[in-house]
Amino acid sequence: MGFSPMGEASGSLDDLRRQIDEIDCMLHDLLVRRCELVLRIGALKDAANGAAGGPPNRVRVHYRPAREAIMLRQLVARHRGAMPKASLVRIWQEIIAASLQMEAPLAIAVYLPDAERAGWWDLARGNFGGITRLVGHGTMQQVLGAVIDGEASIGVLPMPEPGAVDHWWRLLMTADTKMPRIVARLPFGAPGAERGKPVEALVVGRIQPEETGRDRSLVAVETRGEISRATLTAAFGTEGLQAAFMVSGLPAGERGHYLHLLELPLFLAGADGRLARIAEKLGRDLQQVWLLGGYAEPLSAAELGLPQPARRS
């Protein structure tokens, strides 16, 4: 029988494709099994909520950004092979999004001022999956309102920046337990194909904060008069807190008080006594110190194996 190099090559190619088909079936079977476990977890959560007397009309939010962050960090750390880590993260974000939809319908309110500034919409779509329901809102207040009223599970809002006119985070400066808190930062992985200039966002929701080991907290300081950054930095430093300023200054069109939005490189809970002691140190010029929430630190460019930084430092 004659030897056919082309035939041998064709046979090897067919065998490799057959192996890929077998792997696809194995992956599918594992996904089906994973979904079954997700449904069981959802049933246990609903039973626990009912036993605790949870309000039946309140929107159910099964989104746990801390657990998602820990899961993605572990996957990236153990990853090997040629597949880009950024692609691995996107695959798992789709799986996680599908799992959330099975536990309870997930609706996300997104800041969408106009078609030319749709970067936050694209960012939400990339991080929360291709089939998750997104609802665009023309103002940041409308996004917060949708979350407060239960029309949306969570909201996606622009990252606060110096010079911004609309400081939406000011609405979180309240002791009202119905008010959502900052719970995540986007993008968690690599930037996607957002339209326009690259954007970042914060996610708000009525979600119990959880520590991941690498977290940031956002604190708002309201003062009756202008206080220097050096004074505020020193006050936080006495409690071992290294504060980085995000926004600082007099609110537009207002007089008599100043606002400062600070980021701290650690996880803070609502009852943290350090904030109360800082308030005492600042004295009568202080009006209030508010913990607005926080987020798990996103994956870095180094973790994702990217040649350039994925976001601002």
- Check whether 285 has a pLDDT greater than 90: no
CA distance 26 to 36: 16
pLDDT tens column, 132-163: 999 999 999 999 999 999 999 999 999 998 87
Q: What are the two backbone dihedrals, phi and then psi, of residue 217, each rounded to the nearest 5 degrees?
A: -120, 145
C-alpha distances in angstroms, 228 versus 212, 248, 275, 283?
Answer: 32, 10, 18, 14
Comparing 208-222, 233-247, 277-291, which segment has the lowest mean pLDDT?
277-291
Q: How confident is the model at residue 253 (pLDDT cuts 50, 70, 90)?
A: low
Q: What integer pLDDT is reported at residue 146 of this predicted model?
A: 96
- Check whether 65 has a pLDDT greater than 60: yes
- DSSP assignment of 138-197: SSHHHHHHHHHTTS-SEEEEEPP-TT-S--GGGGG-S--TTS-EEEEEE-SSS----SSS
- Check whether 110 has a pLDDT greater than 90: yes
In the sheet where 258-264 sits, what is the strand order? 133-137, 107-111, 154-158, 201-205, 181-186, 286-296, 215-223, 258-264, 244-249
- Check whether 44 has a pLDDT greater than 70: yes
Q: How confident is the model at residue 224 (pLDDT cuts 50, 70, 90)?
A: confident
> What number of H helices and E strands is found in the chain?
8, 9
Task: Please tell me whether the peptide bond between 191 and the residue prior to it is cis, using omega within 30 degrees of 0.
Answer: no
Q: What integer pLDDT is reported at residue 50 of this predicted model?
A: 65
pLDDT tens column, 176-189: 888 899 999 999 99
Q: Which domains does the chain have, with CATH numbers?
A: 32-43+61-213 (3.40.190.10), 215-295 (3.30.70.260)
Average of per-residue pLDDT values in the chain:
87
Q: What integer pLDDT is reported at residue 112 of this predicted model?
A: 94
Comparing 108-112, 139-143, 308-312, which segment has the lowest mean pLDDT?
308-312
* Residue from 220, 169, 200 nearest 312 by CA: 200
Take residue 209 and report the two structure tokens written for it.
Answer: 């904060």
Report the predicted TM-score, pTM, of the whole model to 2 decimal places.
0.88
